[in-house]
Amino acid sequence: TTTPHDGGAVLITGASSGIGEATARHLASLGYPVVLGARRTDKLAAVVDGIRTAGGRADCAELDVTDLASVQAFAETALALHSRIDVLVNNAGVMPLSQLNALRIDEWNQMIDVNLRGTLHGLAVVLPLMEAQGHGHIVNVASVSGHRVDPTAAVYSATKFAVRALSEGLRQESTVVRVTVISPGLTVSELADRGGDEASQAAAQAATRQLGLPASAVAEAIGYAVAQPRSVDVNEIVIRPTLQG
Ligand code: NDP
């Protein structure tokens, strides 16, 4: 039998909860060796334990995607464990919602730092490795908010539009690296539980409770893109609850 993978690692940022955690579990179940990164290392360790108990290969390391040196160290940890980095899933993200006139500038900067700068940090660290290898795959988690703008989500949308833009630029420039954008709609996770103004976050939590996809549905979309042959680049998957407008 052939395994879907021949030794290169799959790195997943923001793997301590939600979509990143589900993606780690799913890709490990498909046979990929996964390396999980996030700031909450206790949560990462619990996910790794679960994957190993289920027979998968997983490791984790502390990661703050806003810090280039931390992203570099994360990749070095993965390279010390595995021969190559075949896939990077740039998933870490934050969504503190509020209207622009609330001027929650620290939260704007946090979204730019994590969602946009963090994605670029991941790209900067793995692109040279992947070009040297002659292959690689970067999966960037954007959002339906990378296609449309809604009140209280202007800055969040701006970061996700930007993630789609830089993904398309990389796709055009690179003949060796596959680039996939995953754009989920409402998905059950911890995203709406952290930051933002109370009313906006409560509305997002209620909508998610009512409609949200299980994170495993998004993980399976990522698994589909990753499992394609190297000559096939799934450019974008938009996936949302059937009931979402
Ligand atoms: P969660 O809040 O459950 O997960 C976000 C993850 O990002 C956590 O693991 C968190 O870990 C990590 N993270 C946050 N800041 C940093 C940082 N500075 N460095 C490293 N990791 C960080 O939410 P989701 O699973 O929903 O979010 C995953 C991605 O999916 C995000 O990019 C989000 O924008 C996107 N998305 C989500 C949708 C939804 O409805 N849920 C819809 C569309 C897109 P820790 O705090 O431990 O560092």
Ligand 1 pocket test target in 187, 236, 244 with most atoms within 8 Å of CB: 187
Ligand 1 pocket test target in 11, 12, 13, 19 with most atoms within 8 Å of CB: 19
The atom number, within ligand 1, closest to the CA of 142 reads: 44
Radius of gyration of the chain (CA): 17
* Candidates 156, 171, 191, 236; catalytic one: 156
Please list, in sequence order, all residues whose beta carbon lies within 8 angstroms of the beta carbon of residue 107, skipping any fewer than 6 positions away.
Answer: 96, 98, 155, 195, 196
3-state secondary structure of 37: strand
User: What's the rounded Cα separation, in Å, for the pair 9 and 12?
Assistant: 10
Ligand 1 pocket test target in 117, 189, 190 with most atoms within 8 Å of CB: 189
Residue 74 Cα to chain centre, angstroms: 15
How many helices (H) does the chain have, and how many strands (E)? Answer: 8, 7
Q: What is the ipTM of this complex?
A: 0.99
Angle between helices 41-53 and 18-29 (to 10 degrees): 30
Q: How buried is residue 134: exposed, middle or buried, by Cβ count under 10 Å (0-12/13-18/19+)?
A: exposed
pLDDT digits (tens, 9 = 90+) for 70-112: 999 999 999 999 989 999 999 999 999 999 999 999 999 999 9
Structure tokens that stand for 85 in this block: 């980095």
Q: Is 32 a catalytic residue?
A: no
CA 139 – ligand 1 centroid, Å = 14
pLDDT digits (tens, 9 = 90+) for 209-221: 999 999 999 999 9
Please list, in sequence order, all residues whose beta carbon lies within 8 angstroms of the beta carbon of residue 228, skipping any fewer than 6 positions away.
Answer: 178, 234
The atom number, within ligand 1, closest to the CA of 19 reads: 25
Beta bridge partners of 85: 9
Please list, in sequence order, all residues whose beta carbon lies within 8 angstroms of the beta carbon of residue 87, skipping any fewer than 6 positions away.
Answer: 8, 9, 10, 11, 32, 136, 137, 138, 139, 226
CA 164 – ligand 1 centroid, Å = 17
**Residue written as token pair 């700031």:** 39
Q: What is the pTM of this model?
A: 0.97
**DSSP class per residue in 157-191:** HHHHHHHHHHHHHHHHH-SSEEEEEEEE-SB-SSG
Which residue, judged by its Cα, is nearest atom 39 of ligand 1? 187
Q: Which residues of the chain fall short of a pLDDT of 50?
A: 1-4
Structure tokens that stand for 86 in this block: 């075949």
For residue 242, give the DSSP letter.
T
User: What's the rounded Cα separation, in Å, for the pair 25 and 188?
Assistant: 16
CA 1 – ligand 1 centroid, Å = 35
The class (CATH top level) of 9-239 is alpha beta
Residue 217 identity: A
CA 91 – ligand 1 centroid, Å = 6
Give me the pLDDT at residue 6, please.
61
Domain boundaries, the chain: 9-239
Give me the pLDDT at residue 7, please.
75
